[in-house]
Each structure stands twice: as C-alpha cells, then as structure tokens.
Structure 1
C-alpha cells in the first residue's frame, strides 16, 4: 500500500544520486524546494538513514520549535567526524532561527558538515536560501512525478496495471506522491480497486464514500470564485467551453483566467483538444451534485436558452432543456421539439425522449398540443416503440382533433399496425385516409406507400393491380411511391417463379428510392434476391450500403438484421447467421415488429435443424407457423413452407412431410422456391426418390429445368437443375458437374454427398469415399454438425472411420470432435440416447460409446455434469 520500491519512493533517483555525491564529499549545503506532498520529508529521512549508516553524526530538529536549540548546540560543537544536519519545514521557522542559521552556514565551510535545508516552495526563507545559493549551495527542486513514474507508482499502489479510467482518476493528484497515496488509501478503504490477472480497475458496484470525501476536500480548498466556476462548468457537462462558462457567469474569459488557472493547477480540470474537461467522472458528478437541484434546473434552462439564442445546435441545447425546461416555458419546449426533429432519423431514441418530454411540458389547453403529439408519435415509431406510439395516437384521436393532424395520427396508427403484421387493419386505415378529399399533399405519398405494403401482406392480386397502376402513372424522377410499387411487383415475381423479372424490378426499385423513412424495403428485397441467386458479394454490398446510411430507425435496423441473417445462412456462415437472427428476434419481440418475427424464426429453425437441435427447430417452426403471413413480405411464403416441410421430415418422418405437400402446401414445388433457395430442388428430389414418388420427382426436375431454360444467365438456378436431373437419372457426371457449378457451400456439399451415395454401388468405392469426404469437409466448414454426422455414418458403412482431422487437445471442450460435440449439445438440451440416435443417424449403443469418450475428455462422470459443463463453457 505504500507504493515503495526497495524502501524508496519511485521517481527521485536523480535527487538521491546528487545527495549521495554530497555525502561522499563530506561537506556542503543542499537547499531542497518542493510543494506540499512532493516527498521532501521522506527524502530527508532516507538520506539521513544512509548517512548514519556511513558513520555520519546526524542532527535533526523534530519540529520548528526544536530548530533554535539544535542550532545553539551546533554553534558550540567542536569539529570532529563528519556530520549531517537536517532542517525541514524552514518556511515555518522564526526569524531569529533563520538569522542564526545564516550565521552558522559560512562558519562551517571548513568543517566536515553537510547541511540539508528544506522548505515548502514559495512560502518564505527567500533571504536565507538566496544567500546560501550565492555561497555555492546546491539547489534541488522536487517537482511532480513524470507521467511514466506516476504510472509505475499507480501500479504499485493499485496492485496491477491500471486501466485508463483508473489512470484518469490518479491524474487528479497531479503527480504529487502524497496525493497519490492518499487517493489510493481512500480507494482501498472504499473497496473500489479491482485487480484481476495483473490489471487494476475501479469497481462500479460500491459507493465511493471515502474517495468522494477526499475529492470534496480538494475542491473545497479552492477559492470561492474557482468553486463557483466549477459548478457552472459541471452543469454544462464533463467537457465544456471556457467561453460558455464566462457567458453563463455574465463575465469574460479573460476575467476568469485566475479561477481557470486555479482549477487546472489543482488537478480538477485539464485541457482536452479544444475544450476543458473534468479529470474524472467522480469529480464532475461530485461538483454537479453540489449544486442544489432547483439551482441546477435553472442553470440547465439558462444554458439551453443561451445555446438556442446564439444559433447553436438544437440537439446540444436540448440536453440542457431536458433537465431545465418547465411547463409553459414555450421557448425551451420549442427547443426540445426542434432537437427531436433534428435527430429523428439518426438518433430516434433520443428524438423520442425529447419529443415525449416536450409533450409532457405542454399545457393541455395549448393549440400546439396536437402537433407535439404527432411529433412524439412519429419519434416513438422511429425508435421502434410501436405499442407506445399507437397508444398515444389513439388516445389523441379519442379527443376532438383538427382534420390535418388527425390524418397524420391515423397514418401513424396505420404504420404501426403494418409493422405489427396486422395488414388488414393497416389497409383499412390507409384506404379511408386516401378517400378524404383534403388529405395533405405531403402526407398522401406516405399513405399510398403504407397501402401498397399492407396489400402485399394481405391481398396479393390487388397489390399487383395497384402497383402496376402506380408504375404506369408515375414514371419519371425517383419517387418513393414508385419505388414501393416496383418492390411489390418484384416480390410477386419472386414468389411466382420469375427471378429474372424480380431482380430487374428490384434493381429499379432500389434506384428509385429516395427516402430513409421506408425501412429500406426496396434495397433489402434486392439483397434477398441477389443472395437467393448466390450473388453473395453483390448482396453483401447492398446490405452494407443500407447499414452505412444515415438512418438509425429501428424498423430499418431490425429488417436489415434478419435479411443479413438469411444471407449468412445461405453463404454457410451458420454461427453468424444465428447471432443476427437472435438479435433481430429479440428486438422484434421487444418492440412489437411482428412482421420480422416469422423471418427470424424461420432462419433459426434452419440453423437448429442443421446443428442437430430438433427440439429448438420444432419450437421455432411452431411459432413461425402461427405468425407466417399468408403472402410473404420480407421472405416469400414458399420459404416458410419449405422450412416447415424440412423440420417436419426430420422430426416426424417422410410421410408427414409429403402430406404437407399434398395438403397444406400443394403449390410449393411449382412456386419460386428453387430460384430463392436453389438447393431445395435437390432436397425435394431426394425425398421423392426416398418415397418412390415418380410424379413428385418428375415435377421437381421439370420445374427446375424450366427455370434454368428461362434464366440461362443465372448459374445457381442452372446448377440446381443439373443437380436434380443427376439425382433422377442416377448420372454421376451430372452430379460431378453440379458439385463444380454450385455457388454456395450448402448446395455443393449436398451434391458431393449425393455423388458419394450414388457411387457406393460401384466396384471401386474410393471415388465414393472421396466425394463423401469432400461433403464432410464442406459441412464441417459450415458448422452443420447434424449433416456431418450423417456423412460420417455413411463413411463408417464404407469401412472408413473418418478422414484425418486436425490435431486436437487431449482434454477439454475443444478436444471433442464434430460428432462428440453434437452429442454433447443434444445431451445439454435434455435429449435421451434414443432421441440422439435418431437425430444423428446412429444406434443408441454408438451414442453411449461416444458419451463415455466425452466424459473421459471432460473429466466428468454423469450427464448432469455434462449439462453444467456445457452451460459454463458456452
């Protein structure tokens, strides 16, 4: 806790070396200056101890009262062995003592006496020190420690390398050793120093009582003018402009220079870039809290009005107005509204806070109440708080409202119901608004956009008719209504198996879009189409442009996340896909974006089925089935149906999966699915062959080949047709071509596996093994543990245990291979050996064999321990 190294404080090595040189000479006078706390007394004590060890007679005064008596004894002293005379705190000495000392110093020049004289800098004894210096005395000034020395000392005091926050707090001591010791004594007393793995930081979960008291004393030692300056500065924020403080104090910066210099010298404030800043948040909060709440509110209001009055950013002013504005304060409330408008798109959460606060402060009888309500509803919608936005709009509409703001509020309700996947309700409100003769021209396009999107989710035929009419009548300059109509037609083309038309329409829609208020639907639809055609680089570029745009509207962010999740899944980046989908789902459920819930669940179901987590897949599909719209908006209806069929096949078997095709989803194979998910063609062909259903097999191949003939410029679609034909005809050459031509890891792995299975009947099984091992490598790259386990099972039947795997540790979680990890994950989810055997295509006995290996590698002995270990490691 002392911060010592070998019994000495850090940072005084040069001074010690000089003093040791004087001791070597055996005579001389050393004058030591230093501010309080710089270590004068400590240094004198250390040198006195060194001198005593070297045979010096050491004479030291205990305090200023003892100094005259010591000097009297020295005056009577007869020359003898070497002596060291140490006189500290001479700034406190009486004039008579200083006069006697001035007489003794010249008289002792021929004796073996070393004089060490110390004072607090700037507090007297100038005549004595000046005379001694003229007589050849050595002067030492103890300055604050250098930054690198402070860092070492702080590490000593903290017990570890300090982080930036701890270093910032230590900087308040201004390099004064005593101040650092006192500060860390307070921190340790409060239990605020946290050390881990050789690093130290400040805990945030304990009150800093002793530390705050120390800092409060430091601030309290300042002059009244300096403290008042700090209080005004603290209201302005942890960083502030000196000119703003001067204006708040009705003064000038030049007049405040002495007070500013005082707070900087005291270590409370420092210069950072073009502003001043409190050295640490604790100091800032301590000073800010010292201002009584009513005074603080008034200062915030004055600061906000000052900033507004000189034309500064309304956003900066609003930070103060939030704390200082009062009911009926028209200027401050207008400032809040202006700030909300300014940040509506790039900081919607802040806009919502500002707009709602402005509404709360508005008098209920004010003519501006309804307009501020509209602003609050819009901001809440942009922030994704759909329930609150809708409730506020409907509450306002329950009162008598003028037609124009009423129309805006009704459109806000239509928007929130649209995002909540209540398409019929949104459509009804939009169409009623469009029938009104006095609908404001600036609102009409947004109502039209809402109607188009609601129709896309509710009535596909009418959506197409309306979109075609818009395209015919609005051709020309970029137009958001035109962009939405083109996007609607692109979605319909996608779902009806016309990927070429869909892509062309989506590109045109993206070019026609001008606003960031649409949730970027045209651009994101384009990205999904490009990814479906396995143009991943182009799809990624579109998503990056959307994410790099100026808008931070929650609808835009959550839609982008779910589109990105499926693109990542299609590209074989399964863990990243799951993370994006979980993020999108969490935000969608929290904010009421029901239109995004089903797409996120569909992606998570696909992830779960390929990682062998059947219970999760079933749960996701069940929830998705209840929410999936009759006609897809973000993803196609066919995508949800394929997800349902795939999970049903794994969970309930072939018969139930095929029953869905003939019952609930009779048009799935002939839809646009194979253009949206080319690998689905091979999957359906395998199921048809497994069931011996020639009609289904022929329908799959016919549709895949028709798509390929109609779209020869899309390699992904052509590869899917070659793959399906190769499976139907049992043609190894076609499957080899499909392996080469497929543009994503999933489809390539499927084709390689199909080729390997086909070649198992040939006399030379080496080609079969090679193809299966290629498939295994691709599945492992993706992270599809269930698919990897299936291929491993096929290789075992061919007498090949597995391809050599990269070296693994002998123990621990990372020592588990793909099969063991898949089994461990399923055990952690509560599945029995028999359930796992069905999932991973192996017998319960084999599952048990792998479990024993898992237990040995992890150093455990039970399934309960495995569950706990899995939770800890994940």
Structure 2
C-alpha cells in the first residue's frame, strides 16, 4: 500500500503519520525512523554519510542503518562513495512540504555545521548558508568567507554575493571585518559592482577614519571609477592622508598617474612619475612598478620615442609576470603591449594576444576588462585592414562600455577615444552614411573642457567628419586653420589627416603634422621603421616626391598595414601619372581594387574619381567589387526601374536592406544615381 495523506498534521515529537501529499513510498518505509532520515536528507544540500545522519537525526547506529537500507530498497535514496542523497525533487518536496519553516532551517543548520568541518565543501554549502546566516553567526560567516575564496576565479559574481552576505552579518567591532572587506573589494572591482563597493567602504572604513584603510579604500574606488577625472580626485584624497604606508602610497600614485596620462596631462606626468617610480621600487611592489613603467612607456610613445617605449613596455610586462598576479587584473595597462605590437608591425601577433586575453577575461568573468579588450581588438583589426570586423568589434565594445561603466563612449579621455577613433576611421574609409550618422551623434554629445587634449582631439574628429561629408565654408563643424597638433594612439592616423588637409588646400595646418613626423623620425638615430615610414609618407605627399612615396610603400608593407600600403601606392601612382612615368595608372587601379576588396569603398571611389577627372575610363573596374547580392540588386534596379519598396518585395528583402545595398553599389561604382547605374550597366 502507498501513502495517500488527505489532511495536514502537526509535528508533535513523533514521526508517525507524516503529511506528504502525494504517492511517494510504502507507508512502512516513509514513517518513523525512515521518515526522520528522509527529512534530513531532503533538507541537506549535499550527500551525508551514515555517521552524519546518525548524529543529526539522533538515531543509534543500528536504527539509522536500517532506515537507510529500507529507503535504498524503496528507490528513495542513492549512495555513492558512502554519501547518501534523497532521489527525486517530488520526494524532497513531499517530505518537507508540511514541516514548519523553523524546523526545516534547524535541520539545514545541523547539516551545514557537520559538513562545514570538511575541507573543500564550502562552495556546495554556501547557498544554504545564505539562507541560514544571522548576525554574529561565526561558523556560517566563516563558511561564506571560505566559499567566496573558493569560487573567486570560477564564479566571481557568486563569490561577491557570498562575501557581501558574510560582511553584512559580521559584528561591526569584529577584527574579522577588515580582512573580509579586503578580500571582497577585488571581486566587486572585477564584477563592476561599483555602487556596492562604495557603500561598503563608506560603512566599514571611511566613517571610522582609519587612515591606512581609508587610503586603500580610496585606491580601490579610483580603480572602480569610470571617469579618470573623478578617479583622480579619489587618489588625491588618499594621498593627502597622513600615516599611510609607502606601499599604499605607491599604488595610489600608480592609479593617479594612469589617470593623468589618460587625460593627456603630460606636464603633470613628467613632474610626478620619477618620484612615484622611485617610491614603488623602494616599496618592492611589482604591481605599482609595472603600472608605472607602462605609464612611462606611454609617455615616451606619445613623444615619438618609440624604441624607448618598446623597451619600457617589455620591462613592465616582465615585472608583472614576475609578480605572479593575474594578467586580466591588469586593467587598463593590459592592452598596451598588444597595441604596440600592432602599431610596430606585428598586428597578427597583437590580435592573438588580445584574443587570448579576452578568453581569459570571459572565463574569469572580468567585467571591467572586457570592453577595453574589445576596443583594442577593433583597433588591431583596423590595422589589419579588416574594416567590417573592426566596426562590429567597436559596436560590441561600445555596448559593453555603456553597460559596465554606465557611461557613453566619447572623447573625455584617451581610453574612451579608442572606440570613437575606430568609428571615425571606419566612416572615413567606407563613406557609409549610417557610420557617419552614428559618429555625429557621439560628437554632438561630447563636451570636453576647452583647451584640453580631449577638446583638441574632438576638433580633429569633426574635421574628418567634414571631409567625409564634403562640407566646406560655413557648413563645416570646425575651421581647419584652428586645429592644433595632438598625439594619436596610432600615429599613422596622421597619414589620413594630412591627406584630407592637402586635398582641401590647408597646407599650413598640414605642415605642422609633417614637421612633427620629421622630428619624431630623427629620434633614436632615425632607425625606427614606423617613425621613418610615417615621415616618408607625409613628406612624400607634402613635398610631392617620388622617392619618399616609394619608401612609404615599402615601409607599410614591412609593417603589415594593408590599408596604408594601398594609400601609399595610390599616392605613388598619382605622382608617376603626373610625371608621365609608366605604371602610374596600373598602380592606382590596383590600389583601388585592393581598397574596395578591403571594404574601403570611399577610398576606392576617390581614386576612381581622380582618374575620371583626368580622362581615364574606370567605371567598369567597379563591377568586380560587387557582391552577388549587390549584383542582383543592381540588375533588378536597372531592368525594372521599380521603387525601393517594390524591389524589396520582389527580392524578399526589407526596404532598408535594399537601400543599404544601393548605397554600397553607388560607392563601389563611383556613381550617385539610378541613371548613372543604368549607364554603367549599358557600358558593361
């Protein structure tokens, strides 16, 4: 016969006649000692050995063993390596269904107490501990702390939850509180839980006025702060405190100098960096030393001292590895070495490194590092000429940036500008109206303080947008005559800038960029390939010299920069044509074909337009650049003459998709209307 209970009963100290509610087991099995054992197993989060069941239930060894065997025979208990577990969620629910909550929690508490003594089980007991913990319960608090430590790498979100629960229930006067907070803060940093971190440190440390602890807290708040300007204020407050250890001061300085560098405040970096590095070395702190060396490398890079920057970057990487710290915790310095590899001629190596770091970050769920790595990967992909991939990666990075940091991408600092730079360059190369519209939205909401590096960089982006739009005179977003030289994360961007300035007739502004490149190339004895190549290309365009443009072509080939190779070839081809030398036309046509294949449709179109204005027939060259779908859309447009909506219906596409394909077709063929498309088709 099977148990079918119709009405509720109350626990009176006897286990006979339990309320279960469904058919689950023979009555002689799920009653008395059997029911008592079943209830303990139902309340337990983990398997229990016979001795543990005996202790929790209060049964003697023989009675507990008999009950376990009966439950096994009924198929209600499974046993593996002496661990007994109740089988089936329906049985668990039925057995516990009508017990008072307090009694269930009491059983769970007993189970957790026994299991907490066994090493390695804290993560499995942690969820139960969250339900059981109360103020001052040291045993459960210790278990949550152990679970936090055990799951910090595999599941930092859960680890942070365990840590917060433990701290919430530690007595405020306990010595344990401070240690728990320091274990928890890195987890809150990794999972981008900034508000929880701020509330926690304010409650635990700042209100107590403990100088050393408060300084360390301000250092962590600075690392969690998305705005470099606000992070800078945290570090300054920490450094203003008295009786702070040299170790904490060196770490505060490493964050402060990173913020100053990110904001482009070079004079302050120059002034503070030597003393900060000296203090970090004296403190013997590899974390601070590595971060400060990276800051020094960035400082030299922006000044054009590329050889020194590369050496310092290598040293910083070695020091970080020697520290034993996890690479994914090195935010944002982690992106610098791959960036240099991409800029200095090893973009494939850089891509592998960034991708490897992203895999580590995703495995460790490092929320803060991910958007920066995606941003750098977009930059590397653009260096490789993978324009579409670069754009997609930048979109992913922007979404993560806003979700993790809670701020929109703009030009407020050098890190935020990585993404905008990629989007601007993609729009400049592709000429897509959608790309341009998105960039304009970002520029419109960017309001950096006047006179700052960010404000100067914003003007350059506006100039490039004007160039894509073809705006002149009053329609311009910015007057090119007022543009001031700024350092670029990728100095090769100066090629794009100088080309646009020269094409629009602003030679004086272009000359400033050319002079900067020439001074940079003279450093390190003129031996750095990257510096020499930029100098050759800029001077080749400005002075219109064949020998320099030939050097630029070779240099960009050695540096594995396909977009720049084709730009240099098109410039050299133009010079050969002008001089009446053979091979100029073929070189320009080859360059436009390669640029179109890379997705740089606007670049390819400009070459075709240049050649058309000089009487060369190049319309047919665009046919090979059309994708199968674009060719189908072009054919439909020419043969039917239908509206976009009707074409969309006939092709089974959306009107937006058809319009996008038409824009691509016009760009690739160098035309602007349906009539020109029909004329092109007739010629083909």
In the superposition, the TM-score normalised over structure 2's length comes to 0.73
How far does the alpha carbon of each residue in 1:594-644 deviate from its partner, in whole angstroms, 9 at most, with x for none?
A: 575443333334334434121012123334554999468xxxx98766544
Residue in 1 that maps onto 2:344? 533
Q: Could you tell which deviates more after superposition, 494-503 or 574-583?
A: 574-583
2:591 maps to which of 774, 780, 783: 774
Does structure 1 conserve the Cα–Cα contact (< 8 Å) formed by 2:570 and 2:607?
Answer: yes
Residue in 2 that maps onto 1:127? none
1:312 maps to which of 120, 129, 136: 120
Task: Indicate the RMSD between aligned Cα atoms, in angstroms.
Answer: 4.9
- Please list, as runs of the form range in 1=range in 2, the aligned pairs for 1:167-566 lying within 5 A after superposition: 219=24, 223-224=29-30, 256=68, 259-260=71-72, 262-263=74-75, 284=89, 287=92, 291-292=96-97, 294=102, 297-344=105-152, 347-362=155-170, 377-396=185-204, 399-400=207-208, 402-417=210-225, 421-433=229-241, 436-437=242-243, 439-440=244-245, 443-457=248-262, 459-472=265-278, 474-475=280-281, 479-513=286-320, 514=323, 515-516=325-326, 519-543=330-354, 546-547=357-358, 552-566=365-379
* Ranges in structure 1 where 5+ consecutive residues have no aligned partner: 1-215, 854-874
In the superposition, the TM-score normalised over structure 1's length comes to 0.59
Partners in 2 of 1:759 and 1:297 — Cα distance? 87
Partners in 2 of 1:402 and 1:443 — Cα distance? 13
* Ranges in structure 2 where 5+ consecutive residues have no aligned partner: 1-20, 408-412, 638-643
Partners in 2 of 1:593 and 1:714 — Cα distance? 40
- Please list, as runs of the form range in 1=range in 2, the aligned pairs for 1:803-842 lying within 5 A after superposition: 805=624, 809=628, 815=632, 828=656
How far does the alpha carbon of each residue in 1:470-525 deviate from its partner, in whole angstroms, 9 at most, with x for none?
A: 33455586722222221222121122222222222222122222234853444322
Partners in 2 of 1:622 and 1:710 — Cα distance? 38
Q: Could you tell which deviates more after superposition, 794-803 or 447-456?
A: 794-803
Q: What is the aligned length?
A: 611
Residue in 1 that maps onto 2:4? none
1:567 maps to which of 380, 389, 393: 380
Partners in 1 of 2:479 and 2:520 — Cα distance? 23
Q: Offset of 1:309 from its aligned partner?
A: 0.9
Does structure 2 conserve the Cα–Cα contact (< 8 Å) formed by 1:397 and 1:409?
Answer: yes
Q: Offset of 1:827 from its aligned partner?
A: 7.9
- Please list, as runs of the form range in 1=range in 2, the aligned pairs for 1:438-837 lying within 5 A after superposition: 439-440=244-245, 443-457=248-262, 459-472=265-278, 474-475=280-281, 479-513=286-320, 514=323, 515-516=325-326, 519-543=330-354, 546-547=357-358, 552-592=365-405, 597-611=416-430, 612=432, 613-624=435-446, 626=448, 630=452, 642-651=460-469, 653=471, 662-663=481-482, 665-668=483-486, 671=487, 673=488, 676-711=489-524, 712-732=526-546, 734-742=548-556, 743-758=560-575, 761=578, 767-781=584-598, 783-791=599-607, 793=609, 798-800=616-618, 801-802=620-621, 805=624, 809=628, 815=632, 828=656
Q: Offset of 1:558 from its aligned partner?
A: 3.1
Partners in 2 of 1:278 and 1:372 — Cα distance? 35
Partners in 2 of 1:377 and 1:646 — Cα distance? 43
Q: Offset of 1:217 from its aligned partner?
A: 6.7
Q: Offset of 1:332 from its aligned partner?
A: 0.4
Partners in 2 of 1:565 and 1:244 — Cα distance? 59
How far does the alpha carbon of each residue in 1:763-810 deviate from its partner, in whole angstroms, 9 at most, with x for none?
A: 7997524533333324423x334434445555776323125538965x
More strand by share: 1
Q: Offset of 1:592 from its aligned partner?
A: 2.8
Q: Which has the larger radius of gyration?
A: 1
Partners in 2 of 1:337 and 1:462 — Cα distance? 42
Q: Could you tell which deviates more after superposition, 405-414 or 224-233?
A: 224-233
Does structure 2 conserve the Cα–Cα contact (< 8 Å) formed by 1:779 and 1:785?
Answer: yes
Partners in 1 of 2:51 and 2:388 — Cα distance? 51
Q: Could you tell which deviates more after superposition, 735-744 or 620-629?
A: 620-629
Partners in 2 of 1:258 and 1:842 — Cα distance? 85
How far does the alpha carbon of each residue in 1:179-200 deviate from its partner, in whole angstroms, 9 at most, with x for none?
A: xxxxxxxxxxxxxxxxxxxxxx
Q: Offset of 1:348 from its aligned partner?
A: 2.9
Partners in 1 of 2:595 and 2:478 — Cα distance? 31
Residue in 2 that maps onto 1:845? 673
Partners in 2 of 1:241 and 1:377 — Cα distance? 35
How far does the alpha carbon of each residue in 1:408-437 deviate from its partner, in whole angstroms, 9 at most, with x for none?
A: 43443343346564244223213223xx12
Does structure 1 conserve the Cα–Cα contact (< 8 Å) formed by 2:541 and 2:571?
Answer: yes
- Please list, as runs of the form range in 1=range in 2, the aligned pairs for 1:107-118 lying within 5 A after superposition: none
How far does the alpha carbon of each residue in 1:140-195 deviate from its partner, in whole angstroms, 9 at most, with x for none?
A: xxxxxxxxxxxxxxxxxxxxxxxxxxxxxxxxxxxxxxxxxxxxxxxxxxxxxxxx
Partners in 2 of 1:274 and 1:644 — Cα distance? 72
Partners in 1 of 2:631 and 2:662 — Cα distance? 25
Partners in 2 of 1:428 and 1:795 — Cα distance? 58
Q: Offset of 1:306 from its aligned partner?
A: 3.3
Q: Offset of 1:288 from its aligned partner?
A: 5.6
Q: Could you tell which deviates more after superposition, 382-391 or 468-477?
A: 468-477
Does structure 2 conserve the Cα–Cα contact (< 8 Å) formed by 1:411 and 1:429?
Answer: no
Structure 1 pair 357–805 and aligned structure 2 pair: CA distance change class (3 A):
same
Does structure 2 conserve the Cα–Cα contact (< 8 Å) formed by 1:314 and 1:342?
Answer: yes
Q: Offset of 1:750 from its aligned partner?
A: 1.8
- Please list, as runs of the form range in 1=range in 2, the aligned pairs for 1:131-146 lying within 5 A after superposition: none
Q: Which has the higher contact order (CA 8 A, sep 6+)?
A: 2
Residue in 2 that maps onto 1:168? none
Structure 2 counterpart SS, 1:337: helix
Structure 1 pair 774–278 and aligned structure 2 pair: CA distance change class (3 A):
farther
